């Protein structure tokens, strides 16, 4: 599990909608793979959609993926 602060700023256990059974959080994956802002947000929304905001989070993930594609195509 990460020792970083939770999104709310309080140190400790991440919110349940981010915690994986193995204790890995999106923040751990983002750091491990060096993801940028857009990639990290897409990952975050994909990992939490079933536990938090449902289809709305999937739409947010799509938004960030589309922005990643647009930036990649622009070079």
Whether 9 is covered by a domain: the verdict is: no
Helical spans, DSSP H, in the chain: 26-33, 37-48, 55-74
Count of domains forming the chain:
1
Structure tokens at 32: 């491990």
- The reply to whether 1 falls in a domain is no
Q: What is the pLDDT of residues 4-23, one digit of tens each?
A: 444 555 566 666 666 566 77
27 occurs within a structural domain: no
Q: Work out the pLDDT band at 66, boundaries 50, 70, 90.
A: very high
CB 12 within 8 A of CB 6: yes
Does pTM surpass 0.75? no
Give me 40's structure tokens: 């990290």
Q: Is residue 29 part of a domain?
A: no
Query: 25 near 19, Cβ under 8 Å?
Result: yes
Q: What residues make up the domain containing 65?
A: 36-74
φ/ψ of 54, rounded to 5, equals: 60, -140
46 domain residue, yes or no: yes
Classify residue 8: in a domain, yes or no: no
């Amino acid at each position: 599990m990460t020792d970083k602060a939770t999104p709310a700023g309080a140190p400790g256990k991440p919110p349940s909608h981010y915690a994986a059974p193995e204790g890995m959080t999106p923040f751990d994956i983002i750091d491990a793979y060096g993801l940028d802002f857009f990639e990290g947000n897409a990952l975050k929304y994909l990992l939490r959609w079933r536990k938090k905001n449902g289809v709305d989070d999937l739409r947010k993930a799509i938004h960030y993926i589309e922005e990643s594609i647009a930036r990649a195509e622009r070079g």
